[in-house]
């Protein structure tokens, strides 16, 4: 059963990723990106990582996609079509991408991943919160503080950049 769900999600991810970069209507591309991110959240649910899936749904498909849709509506006319890609450019980039996919799939298929026999522990939100604020072994208090400063800087920077000045 889980296997079938995985294949459905994987098919949705691949299909909508390709549609995101090939669709000529930019608003549709944003909606396809939303579908990709929601299918990824489905994969996390399938792996029993519930908190991460919730973060993915709220921050990525809730926040980032809404930001992108706002930017699209503010900058592009709604019936605007992106210009078609030139033949030579499309062929060259497809060959490059196919070579990249071939290399990675070949390397991964030849590698023998051995899962550990150790039991899974600590996927509840309490363990995550404790580990985020712990400064012992496997503690993440330093990245936590750094990312809080980064988010503050990004917030101030976004406001300053997007602000309308009087002499514009």
Closer Cβ to other proteins, 3 or 79, answer by number = 3
SS3 string, 18-73, reads: HHHHHCCEHHHHHHHHHHHHHHHHHHHHHCCCHHHHHHHHHHHHHHHHHHHHHHHH
Q: Give least dist CB 65 to other proteins, A.
A: 9
Least distance to other proteins, CB of residue 162, Å? 4
Nearer to other proteins, 114 or 166 (CB): 114
Task: Give Cα 143 to chain centroid, integer Å.
Answer: 20
Q: How far is the CB of 105 from other proteins (least distance, A)?
A: 6
Alpha-carbon span 75 to 34, nearest angstrom: 19
Q: Which is nearer to other proteins, 3 or 166 (CB)?
A: 3
């Amino acid at each position: 059963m889980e296997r079938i769900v995985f294949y459905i999600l994987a098919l949705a991810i691949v299909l909508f990723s390709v549609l995101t970069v090939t669709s000529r209507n930019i608003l549709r591309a944003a909606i396809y990106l939303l579908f990709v991110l929601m299918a990824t959240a489905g994969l996390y649910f399938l792996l029993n990582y519930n908190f991460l899936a919730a973060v993915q749904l709220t921050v990525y498909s809730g926040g980032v996609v809404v930001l992108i849709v706002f930017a699209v509506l503010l900058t592009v006319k709604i019936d605007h079509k992106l210009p078609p890609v030139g033949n030579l450019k499309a062929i060259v980039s497809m060959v490059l991408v196919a070579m990249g996919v071939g290399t990675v799939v070949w390397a991964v298929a030849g590698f023998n991943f051995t899962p550990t026999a150790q039991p899974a522990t600590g996927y509840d939100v309490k363990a995550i919160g404790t580990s985020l604020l712990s400064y012992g072994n496997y503690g993440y208090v330093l990245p936590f503080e750094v990312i809080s400063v980064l988010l503050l800087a990004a917030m101030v920077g976004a406001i300053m950049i997007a602000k309308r000045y009087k002499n514009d």
